[in-house]
Chain A
């Protein structure tokens, strides 16, 4: 089954304790992205990756890191989490945006709810 898998689904942690949210897709997609969803703000893009070893900042990258060492994985790293990073996080993937000019729909994981105390 084609899917985007995020782990963990839920996490409660404390300020300053490094954490990683994993994201894996089995569709051989070139493009991957991370979003955060907050009430009244919709989805905001954190980072995206056009392909392996290629990453770029989205609208709200501060406090986050990503890496794309393999095509299927795109982990989100919070080196020193703070309470304002409490949110619902989504990973998504799609075929290359250079393929037919970027009109490929994205496939989303089921989300990771992070609470940082």
Chain B
């Protein structure tokens, strides 16, 4: 079955340090990959997506993500974390031409001053 995994429930990072939030997906076809962020009491906001081409994708708020086909991963990264980056992050996958979007369970990012 198609699935998306975010292996860490929570990631803790000190402000100014690099951060990584992990995402892997099950092998099957060529997926579109997305990252969304959710702030308290708000809906999800789109950060970035991978379609094809360059494996490093740049998105909003200084975030980027690296697509690795052999490892079926799409990890979210940022070179220098901010306290305001603290939020819930979701990875999502759509396999091409399918109607449903599958989300991971989310990773809570906590950035401390």
Contact = CB atoms under 8 A, between A and B. Distances in A.
B43 A97 contact: no
Nearest to A45: B100
Contacts of A101: 32, 96-97
Contacts, number: 68
A74 B82 CA distance: 37
Contacts of B100: 45, 48, 56, 58-59
Which 8 pairs across A and B sit closest by C-beta, in order of nearness?
A108-B43, A42-B105, A105-B46, A43-B103, A103-B32, A108-B44, A103-B51, A110-B43
A102 B43 contact: no
A4 B43 contact: yes
A105 B43 contact: no
Interface in B24-67: 32, 34, 36, 41-46, 49, 51
B26 to A, nearest CB: 14
A107 B56 CA distance: 23
Interface residues on B, range: 20 to 34
Given A42-B104, A102-B32, A50 B41 contact: no
Contacts of A35: 103
Interface in A80-117: 90, 92, 97-98, 101-103, 105-111
Contacts of B46: 105-107
Contacts of A29: none
Choose among B34, B36, B44 the residue with the greatest number of A CB atoms under 10 Å from its CB.
Answer: B44
26 contacts: A4-B43, A42-B90, A42-B103, A42-B105, A43-B44, A43-B92, A43-B103, A45-B102, A45-B103, A48-B100, A50-B99, A56-B100, A59-B100, A90-B43, A90-B44, A97-B97, A98-B97, A102-B96, A103-B51, A103-B94, A105-B34, A105-B49, A106-B44, A108-B45, A110-B42, A111-B41
